Amino acid sequence: MSDDHVYLTLAEGHEDDARWAYGTGFEDPLHGVDTTVPEGVDAGELAAVCVALGDDALVSAQRLAEWTTRAPELEEEVALANIGLDLLGQARLLYSRAGQADGTGRDEDAYAYFRDADDFRNVRLAELPCGDFAFSIVRLLVLSSWRLAHFGRLVEHPDPVLAAIAAKGVKELTYHRQYAAEWAVRLGDGTEESHRRMRRAMERAAPYFGELFTAHDVREEVADVLRQVTGAAGLPMPVYRPLSGAGRDGDHTEHLAPLLAELQSVARAHPEATW
């Protein structure tokens, strides 16, 4: 199967999905795609990468959903909701690939709804409370830039399915980064109050940056983006120290468990329900 064929299959819509987001009964988003793990690719490592990136996307989407009815303008509420839906779609594909790769056959619901906080592998920055709009913009800027850098490399992955998921995600993440960068400049170079809030948001988020930048090439690419944006916004470049482990090892803040409890409550109360 060629990468082009995989990509076209992944890009197809699922207009017949009539259930709640995730719930049981959705067609597997990888339905019709050859999910055989290519020779030479470690299936366990492939599954681990997919789960980690899927967890980042799912938790980020849940935080963005919290802006519904709370965003400063209707236009921004719609934009943030759409970004969250993009990430939710990425999580679906990544979880499905993980279940195929690790041999367990678990579906997207099993990963999203029936794991505890200790089993999640998302980075800690994704799980922090939303805070004000400035903090959410800083977080979106950093995470979308970091995720885009990773996905840009994954398009060359020897697993054609993961490569196709990454190629689809690159287009979405490019918009996410642009949206966040434009708001960061607007707020940083805006009023005295908006500038103050952006500085405070950067200071609050910076301690969690080190976990993201363990790979030198990714770190430099994201740092270049942050230098451009902070320079245009009149903000100081955030200071961080490289840090390994943490969320990727299941070491989370106290904020993840309550987020998952809310996300998973209906599915756990009615594990076989359909709508």
Q: Which of 153, 144, 29 is nearest to 79 (CA)?
A: 144
- State the pLDDT at residue 22: 38
If DSSP codes are grouped into helix, strand and coil, which group holds residue 19?
coil
pLDDT in tens, 49-64: 999 999 999 999 999 9
Query: What number is the average pLDDT over the span 244-258?
Result: 90
Q: How many CB atoms lie within 10 A of CB 19?
A: 12
> Is pLDDT of 106 > 80?
yes
pLDDT given at position 213: 86
pLDDT at 275: 62
Residue 26 confidence (pLDDT) above 60:
no
Instruction: Tell me which of 242 and 175 has the higher pLDDT.
Output: 175
pTM of the model: 0.88
Q: Give the DSSP letter string of 172-231.
A: HHHHHHHHHHHHHHHHHTS-HHHHHHHHHHHHHHGGGTGGG--SHHHHHHHHHHHHHHHH
User: Is 66 buried (19+), middle (13-18) or exposed (0-12) by CB count in 10 A?
Assistant: middle
Candidate CATH numbers 3.40.50.150, 3.30.565.10, 3.30.413.10, 1.20.1260.10; the one for domain 41-269 = 1.20.1260.10
pLDDT above 70 (res 4):
no
Contacts of 113 (CB under 8 A, 6+ apart): 22, 263, 264, 267, 268
20: pLDDT strictly greater than 60:
no
Spatial separation of the C-alpha atoms in residues 236 and 229, rounded to whole Å:
10
